[in-house]
Structure formats: structure tokens, C-alpha cells
Chains A and B, each alone.
Chain A
């Protein structure tokens, strides 16, 4: 059972095909005849075509023949040819990738991969891989964790105040501090030199030495942190149901949405389009971008609260309190599979880079393979138990076959063969990057920072032809021009007889503002009055769900919301106007807590 080098199907080693070199009578090298095609398996040509779809980003153009403009036609043809050539070359270049993915396979009809314990696997590991395994027994748990994007550093935070940053190569901690207050979530930012922690009241940012750099007082009682690396946005959500995007390169709050959906304890980003997925206590999952004050998509995923979620490519995995965890197709917003669980509901769901699903149920961890394929897997890929502990967090280490779990008694790692992508790209995330490379990358990343308003459901939208009807485009242009005009500061008219005095001007402004507020309030009252008779849309969707086996999704709002996302962003959104002064959310929360504790205490 020693490690065996096995190439995946369709891949061959460079030295496999040996073409004998013939020399003629004079000793000159003449062309050797290739061995017959059947002996060379598989053909290089076939490899190219097999892997090409992965690299195909361009749609096949239809009807180029019919284009009447000669120049345009030839340009389109050339572009098409170049695209195809590019795809082929990329597919062919795969042969240069240095490593192949790991695997764990059962032999014989009776073996099952989930029956293999970590001890079994560890016994067959090489020394280098064995070094990646550790079991830290710590007394400030339960622990949450986050890996840096290149998988080199592990940040973990114990709920009782312990935060540490571990270098997984040298196995040395960069810092190890106790903040003496609750730590709810931790997140590594652009690289390991800046990390964020959601603590009792605020979010704090530390450097790689554990020195507090910032205290973000705008983010109150935060439960989940997410970081969008290409946009430099730190996103937080928590008790007050407020989703805040903060640009960590400038420090500015880019957008803040009041969700009005209750405390949010589940949030993950879709790494392919930077849309945030939020799981709510009523079983819905909402998708958010910084540009819209409303969710771009709203899905009813479970009949109980959503407890865990993660996204991989076009698929989302969710776990709920309704006894199921599900896989969703994000292209159609429809369920693919559902799986039953028994006992403790999953506290965490996590996808690995290769699409393995990791779930934590109380003291158990399960890893499922091929859960996103059409054929539903019948049994898990791997299982692991930590008797007596509660597992809080499961994270797969990027570019390694390692999974870290944070639990009530510390942090430990498991081997999950096939979890990591075998080949990294030095310009994206390099586990072995040098100090100089890190610094160069930082500059490059900052130059390439994407603007928050570029976040859309379809990331390839930019640079495409706007195929909206002409009327819509004209309307947008008109609105844009109007907005630009309104932004221009108008010079107040100079009036005679004391009507341009400072006091008069201030009074007029006040009058205008008051009437604006009145108008808005009346509008709102009108809307609320109109909607009172109908059932809320979520309830309706839930009712629909009850009839069918699987969960449904709300398409009522989605059509218009996703259709022209940028409309709302360009319109600037409505200004929220408060009729009467509101108590701060923090104050209300604290009062409620005090009330609760008073009622709970026996008198």
C-alpha cells in the first residue's frame, strides 16, 4: 500500500512514449516511424479535446457567414480562430503541470472508503504529509478557523478569547494572544499580514504580530466575517441583521444594507462572482451585492433555520434544522440532491477546492464526494469522530489534502485525500511565496482592485454588448444625465430685499426637507396599507414548498431584480428617511438582553 504513482485517465507521462531513433547506414539520424496508434495510449490529440471545455470562455458565434460587412466578418472569423487556438493550447499545456491530485480508493467489493480511520491512513503516509497533521488541545474553545488564501497560514480563534496565527509549513505560531472577550469569527485578509476578528462588540484588525491595528466600531456584534480578496472588501453580518462592506485598502464603508431578517449566523461568499450568500433563521438564503439594497436572489432552502452553507462553482450546499442538507444548482436555483441527517444538525458545511463537501454534526465529521454530480452518492467518502467534543468549524486547506476542524477542545487536522487542487498558480496564491513575491503581489493586487459596483451575478458581464432594449438604455442615459445635473451645485439665486439672508435661506431649506420627509412618510404608509391584506411572500413560498418534496425558490421578485441590477446602483437607491429618532440598534439589543436576564433569574 505504499504510495503509488498513478496517472488519472487521459493523462500520460512524458517518458511513456519512447520513439526509437534509427540511423541509416551512414550513421545519420533518420525519422523513426511512430509505433501504430493502438500501442500509444491515449493519443495527445484526444487529451486536448477532452479537457478543452474547461477553458472555453467564448460562445460559438452563429451566422458569421451572413455578416455582410467584409471587414467585420473577417475580424470575427479571426477572433473565433484565435479563441479556439487558445483553448486548445491551454488544454495541451496541462501536460506541463507538475503534480496530480490525491485519491483514496477502496479495493475489493467489501472495502468502503469511509471505514478507513485516520490512523489507517496515517500509517501509510510519507513523512512530509504526516507533518501536516496535528491535534492541538486548547482550553478556550470552541474554535473557529480560517486559512489564508494560499493555505500557508491558519488563523484560529477560540470563543473564550484566544486568537492565534499558525504557519503551517514551519509549524510555528506567528502570534498567540488572548483578547479576554468573546471571539465569534476570524478571517485572514489580503495575506497573513492582516487578520480580522469579530469580538464581543466590535470587529478588530490585527497584524501578523498580533498587534491591534484597527477597531471597527461600525460593525457591532458580528457573527460572521467574509473577505472578498479581489475587491478588498471585508463583509460583516451579525446580531442586528446589517450587512456591511468595508474597503480595507481605504478604510471606507462601501455599502451597508439593513436586511431586516433577524440575526444572521451563516454567511459565505461565492468565490466566482463575489456575491454574498446569507442563511437566515426562517430557512431562506439571500444573495447580496453591495449595489442593491434588496437581495438579488431569495431562495427558500429549508423548512427550519439554515445552519451552514458553502458555494463551489455552480453549486451551493446548505444545511438546515429540518433534518436535511441539500445541494443546489445556482444556474437554475433548483435543488440537485437532498441528504437526511440524524441527530445533531450540521453546524458547518464546507466545500474543498475540488468539490468535496465537509460537514460537522456534533462530534462527527463527514466528507462527501461527487455530491454535485447527477448521480447521488449513497455513502460518505470519509468519516471521523471526536467523542465528547462539539465540532464548530470545518475548513479545507487550499492546495493540500488536509482538512482542519475546530472543536470545543482545540484544533486538529485530518487527511482527506483528493481535497486540494494539486497545482497552484504563483501569480494567484502561492504557498511558497517569498517576502519579495508577497510584496510585489500586494502592489499588483492593489493596482488591479475591482470596484464594488462591478459585483454582479454574472462576472463575465463586463465588456459584453448591452442587449437591453433601446428604450431601457435611453431611460438609463436620461437618468444618468439627470443625476449628473443634480449633482452640480446650483448657485443660489441672488434675491433682493433681504430674502437672501442666511436665516431665510436656512428656513427655506428646512421647509423643503420637511415636505420631502412628509411625502416619503405618506408614500410608505400608503404602501404598508396596501400590502396588509396579502400574505407575506415568504409564507406563500413556504406553502408551495410544503406541497412538493423539495424546497422551492421565489421567482416573484427575482426576475426584475436580477434582470437589471445596475439600474438600482446607478439610480443611487432611495434615501432612507427617519420620521422620529430611533434608538441605536446596540442600545436596543443591550436592553433586550438585560430584560431577558432579568426574567430568567428566579425571583
Chain B
């Protein structure tokens, strides 16, 4: 007889003081019945937990005395933020400490353009007083990275410290002043050279060392709204104008390349930093349109969900997402490839949002609104701040994988998609839905009672585009 009998030695499994209890794993499917059903349940719980832990508002930076019109962040220092308001005030912020480090009365009237040089040393502002001014940026000592974890008491919303305005030198002289021909509506700095682009009646290119623009572009419209340098092509600029066009300019030539005429005006434009062929415009018709610059006759994607004009758009440095601010008092985060927004943020006291930016580390979103406040939000509403232990990170990764796996299931999709929005926005969304349905129905009826082919199907991505002008 050959005999072996199974025996687990109880002494080996005994709990010993000071020792970690050992867990034994056996991947045999017989020991893990209902694996898919249980995974589904876990995904459901994870989705619900995400909703429970969603606390996106990190900080409110107050200090401005008028609506925050535009903002810029430095390229390399994550902590620095610069904002400018409608009363001509410029403020320098340190985000982790939530303090205002400098406040300057920079312009008479609105400041509409704000940008930082690629070496983070100079700041440029342009306003309604037809001036473009240069300011020196000093390093925040010891605050080169965003040390949230030391400063932040998680979950407790700490307001920015009161600034003693008397201490802040109000009358700092600008390093340099350039005089533009018209009021400056936007300002952007070249990604590597000492060049600036300003908009007003024309698109002007400025050199740091010249007092007059080195180049001016005009293309049959009285006012250009926004212009941005392409991050990869050193000579390429995209701009939006009040005649509802979105145009491309090449610095090497004397005239613009091409433009596309949309049905409504675009308020802002932003290039995708990782796929620099593509850019997104924020339109007055509540939508954002992503274009491939080579093919302007059809939009790559249409991003909807806003219920009022979209005022600003900014890409995340990862190039996967962008944030947009709207006149309907919300900001939304979109994935580049998706047409519905991933996230919507609103606050009780937040008014029309005029500008928004992603931070350089992609983890936060900053918004400036008419209620004179600057708000810092998390880009992932329920992600915990600060470093996490290895096991927790693993558990989070597991939950994320499960959520991805079961994302298309009805119940999970419903919970994940649901966002609470103010009743006004909910009402408007519903109204817009009904209107769109009615329009569709009408078109359908028209098609049914017309000669076949007389009412062609038109893609929603082509619809807003009137024509392309070379």
C-alpha cells in the first residue's frame, strides 16, 4: 500500500506575536466560483465609492476685486499661477500655500492677454489700454514643486491667507512697455523663440527687442479674438476672429494660410501639445470643436454638454484631456476622443467662468470666474491627494481595471455617468435635448416627403462648418 494523507500542521498556521499572518492563495477556479458576478459587484461598489469620495474643490484663492479675465501658469514651476482681472490688476499666486505673493495694478481697464516666457522669467500682459507690458517673475523660494501633501489638510478646504495689500508693492514698474495699435484681446508666447503674438484688429508678431510688431496679418475682419502658437511647428499660429472664422497663419509668409468659417464665433483656441496637428476651439454655440489642421472641412470631434457659450479651453499637458469654461457657470473636462464631458464642476457661488487652465502636472484644474475668485479643482474628482502606500495603490489600480472592464453595463454606466448639476443647467440641457430632437424629426419628415437624395444626411461634425477659405 502506498499512502499519503493530507495534513496541515496547525503549528505552522498559528498566529505568532509580532509576525504578520500569512495569506495563502490558490488560483484554482473551483475555489473561486461566481468570479465574474463577484467582479461585477466589486466594480459596482467601486463606482459608487468614486461618487462618495468625489470632492474636487481643493482651494479658493480670493483677492481680486473684479472678474478674473485671464490666467497663465509657468511652464516648469508647478506652484506658480498668474491671474489678471477686469480692473487691470495682476496677481502672482503660490498654489500650495494658497497665498498671493504679488499684486500689481498693471493696466487701465481690462487685462485680456497674459502669457509666460518659456524660461519662466518674464510675464507679458496686454489690455484695453493698447499696452503690452513685461514683468519680471521671481522664483518662489523653496516652492518649486507643488508640495500639496505638506500644506494640505486633506478634506478641509482652507481658504487662501489674507494678504496685507499694503505690503504688496502696488506700483511695480513694468520692465518694458510695447504700444499696440489697438486694444489687445489676447497674448501668447512662442514655445522657444523670443516672439509674442497679440491680437486686436490684426494679428501682430512682436520681438522682445523691438518696440514695433515685426509682422502683422490682416484677413478681412475687424477684430481677432484669440491666437496661439503651435507647440511643434515654430512658425504656425491658430487664431479665432469675430467674423466666425478660425484661421491659420505662417510666420514665413506674408499672408495667412487658410481659414474655416463656422456658423458662430469661437472664443478661444488651444493646440493639443502631444498631437500638435490638432487643436480645439471653444464656440459660442455651446460646443467645442476639435480640428485637424490639415483637414478643416470637417471637425475631428464635437464636444457637447455645455448649455451656454464656451469661453475658454486649455489642454492638459498629457494631450489626452482638456478643460473648458463656460458662460453657464460650469467648467467641464473632456477626453479628446469623446464627445461627452467626463466631469463637470460647479460651485454655489461660482459665477460665469471666464478662464481655465490645467496645471503642469495634469493633476489640477484652475478656473477664474466673474465672482472674482480663482478656484483650484482636482482633475480626478475622487483621487486622493498625496502619496499612497503600495497596497492601496494596487487596490486602486485593481478597482480601476474592474470599472473599465464593466463600464458598459447598464447599472455601472448609469452611476458613473450621473452628475448632479444645478437645476437651471439640468433644465436647459433637457430643453436643448428636446429642441435637437424636434429638429431631427423635422429633418426626417422633410426627407421622407422629398425626392430621394434631395435632403442629404449631414454629419454633425460637418454641420457647423460653412466653408473653408484658402
Which residues of A come within 8 Å of B, CB atoms? 1, 3-6, 54-55, 57, 90, 93-94, 97-107, 111, 113, 116, 120-121, 124-126, 128-129, 169, 230, 271-274, 313, 353, 399-401, 415, 417, 420-432, 434, 437, 447-450, 454, 459-460, 462-463
Contacts and interface: CB of A to CB of B under 8 A. Distances in A.
Contacts of B33: 230, 271-273, 459
A507 B317 CA distance: 71
A434 B21 contact: yes
B7 interface: yes
A514 B10 CA distance: 68
The DSSP consensus for interface residues of chain A is: loop
Which among A93, A111, A313, A427 has the greatest number of chain B C-beta atoms within 10 A? A427
A126 B35 CA distance: 37
Nearest to B27: A90
B8 A99 contact: yes
B7 A428 contact: no
29 contacts: A1-B2, A5-B4, A6-B2, A54-B28, A94-B27, A98-B24, A99-B6, A102-B3, A102-B4, A105-B3, A113-B1, A128-B9, A272-B33, A401-B6, A417-B3, A420-B6, A424-B24, A425-B25, A425-B27, A425-B32, A427-B23, A430-B24, A434-B15, A434-B21, A448-B45, A450-B34, A450-B41, A459-B36, A463-B405
Contacts of A428: 31-32
A454 B4 contact: no
A103 B8 contact: no
Contacts of B29: 54-55, 57
Contacts of A423: 24, 26, 28
B283 to A, nearest CB: 27
Which among B27, B32, B40 has the greatest number of chain A C-beta atoms within 10 A? B27
A399 B8 contact: yes
Contacts of A113: 1
Interface of B: 1-10, 13-15, 21-42, 45, 405-406, 409
Contact of B5 (A116, A274, A417): A417
A104 B3 contact: yes
Given A93-B27, A102-B5, A423-B26, A447 B32 contact: no
Contacts of A1: 1-3
Contacts of B13: 431-432
B3 A121 contact: yes
A98 B22 CA distance: 12
Given A98-B24, A427-B23, A432-B13, A104 B1 contact: yes
A454 B35 CA distance: 12
Nearest to A272: B33
A57 B405 CA distance: 15
A164 to B, nearest CB: 22
Given A274-B34, A400-B6, A432-B13, 9 more contacts: A54-B28, A93-B27, A102-B5, A104-B2, A129-B6, A230-B33, A400-B7, A401-B5, A459-B34
A103 B1 CA distance: 10
Nearest to A151: B8
Contact of A107 (B2, B8, B14, B15): B2
A448 B41 contact: yes
A432 B40 contact: no
B37 A427 contact: no
B1 A422 contact: no
B292 to A, nearest CB: 16
A120 B2 CA distance: 12
Nearest to A96: B25
A313 B406 CA distance: 26
B3 A463 contact: no
Given A97-B26, A274-B34, A313-B30, A129 B2 contact: no
Contacts of B15: 434
A463 B5 contact: no
Nearest to B33: A272
Contacts of A101: 6
A483 to B, nearest CB: 15
Contacts of A431: 8, 13
B152 to A, nearest CB: 30
Which among B7, B10, B405 has the greatest number of chain A C-beta atoms within 10 A? B7
